[in-house]
Structure 1
């Protein structure tokens, strides 16, 4: 087996780093600081980072085919013009729940955006339960609600054949699968793929590799776990020097590097001393697997 190496590469000190996306055209890593209200763009070639501030918490950012990005800010899905730092609201969700916010989001292989919401956090990972939903938005900005009564809408990705949608509602402690219709975006037949074990923490962000296996960041678990969805078995576990691992994506040369974000919000002084790298972003190399290119929103 390859020699796995974990290194801290982006010392951004995020309160809650989330939603990393590798932007192939720019050879950059996109990610957000949810509570810090920032979208970051980092180049591993130059080690330079650019940032844009948002007016509210920002749950995700994804590339847009027509240029720029789409992000989830507060309860609004917005278009982001990076050069001017201008943000234009496209749609608003959960209008009847003003304390809700958008969390993780990702684009399916046809260019449709899926994004979820969650209720107000009293403390990190302690929320008003059942307040969230899972939505999709098509290129013409049509919004469809697919799930209700979600606690913390989190990781999402698709199988290689696009027929299965993998989804995480963190407080359920499971990674779930649905049958997926890429033409309509409809989901059905929910089932559990993997239930996290004691000590593994809460399932958070997720990525699927080129072999169709899942990589799940475990919040309060200090690790990323690799799951074979066909068998429901954890194949391997990669430990990180921080407990609040939040999300992951593949990037770099040939998509052979795994980037992992983390959070520092909610750590006490003792925990901060023990985890000086909390909130930073890590690169895992030597896994011997590759990821897939990210999809861009078609609108």
Structure 2
């Protein structure tokens, strides 16, 4: 890691599984969820003020809507969230034939579709009944398309700068994959591996793409974020964190030059928690010399 890079814990909420960070440009706030703690958090760096909304089930991601408010993945449902009233309305239920499944990561594509993936319920963190999950897309009129099945843990996703490639992580495969992506139809094709982790290196988890088209991948049980060139499959840089269960990342700040990284505390024993007092916190990494891109709002 370059000597100019600074890593600091900016939020310590004791998150069980902090996940899905997203920089909301209009509000200049960082949003993230606590999956097992069933909360959506919103934090403003300029004032260090935090607020949260409680959910009725595991909540795995949150994204803004063009029409106002947010969409969140709660249990197996896509729900509309009205922040001021804390009202939540279920819009679409996924995996209706698999009551033990839940949603995991979700992100809005460059055209305003929501892509969201599911997984089997966990016995322990990252221990699931395998091949129970799927990857779906949801359009503004709430029509649903299933793109992938037999997924273990549907996780990180983002798009190339030209919108022609979709990057996707099924964590237990230990790979970051790429698909050809048709932005008009939302269709996926030509799956291939961009990067492969070795056994014991941790699990690829949440992911973001920077303004140069490079991938930043949080490594769960690996305590780091990898910067990967998707063209060559080479790891260009490693950012180490003082916690092992790094879960996801996004760029934010006024000029998108800060990398925010979420982490989890669930699954750590007492000894590990003592050694990692910041586990479950959110970290800000500055001085990387790269910038991210604004998030896209759901078009509905």
Q: Would the TM-score normalized by the shorter structure come out above 0.5?
A: yes
After TM superposition, give the deviation of residue 13 of structure 1 in Å. 1.1
In the other structure, the counterpart of 1:96 is 97
Distance 1:66 1:2, change over 3 A: farther
2:28–2:254 CA contact under 8 A, matched in 1: no
Within a 5 Å distance, the mapping from 1:264-283 to structure 2 comes to: 264-283=265-284
2:205–2:220 CA contact under 8 A, matched in 1: yes
Gaps of 5+ in 1: none
In the other structure, the counterpart of 1:66 is 67
In the other structure, the counterpart of 2:156 is 155
Q: TM-score, normalised by structure 1?
A: 0.99
In the other structure, the counterpart of 1:207 is 208
Flag as ranges the 4+ runs of structure 1 deviating above 2 A.
197-200
- Please state if 1:259 is matched with 2:257: no
In the other structure, the counterpart of 1:39 is 40
**Alpha-carbon separation, structure 2, partners of 1:164 and 1:2:** 33
**Alpha-carbon separation, structure 2, partners of 1:183 and 1:93:** 23
After TM superposition, give the deviation of residue 198 of structure 1 in Å. 4.5
After TM superposition, give the deviation of residue 200 of structure 1 in Å. 2.9
After TM superposition, give the deviation of residue 196 of structure 1 in Å. 1.1
2:157–2:206 CA contact under 8 A, matched in 1: yes
After TM superposition, give the deviation of residue 2 of structure 1 in Å. 6.5
In the other structure, the counterpart of 1:294 is 295
How many residues in Structure 1 have an aligned counterpart in Structure 2?
299
- Please state if 1:239 is matched with 2:214: no
After TM superposition, give the deviation of residue 197 of structure 1 in Å. 2.9
In the other structure, the counterpart of 1:113 is 114
In the other structure, the counterpart of 1:228 is 229
1:2–1:288 CA contact under 8 A, matched in 2: no
Deviations 1:193-236 (A, max 9, x none): 00013453100000000000000000000000000000001111
Within a 5 Å distance, the mapping from 1:135-150 to structure 2 comes to: 135-150=136-151
1:130–1:151 CA contact under 8 A, matched in 2: yes
**Alpha-carbon separation, structure 2, partners of 1:198 and 1:136:** 31
- Give SS of 1:231's match: coil
**Alpha-carbon separation, structure 2, partners of 1:31 and 1:272:** 22
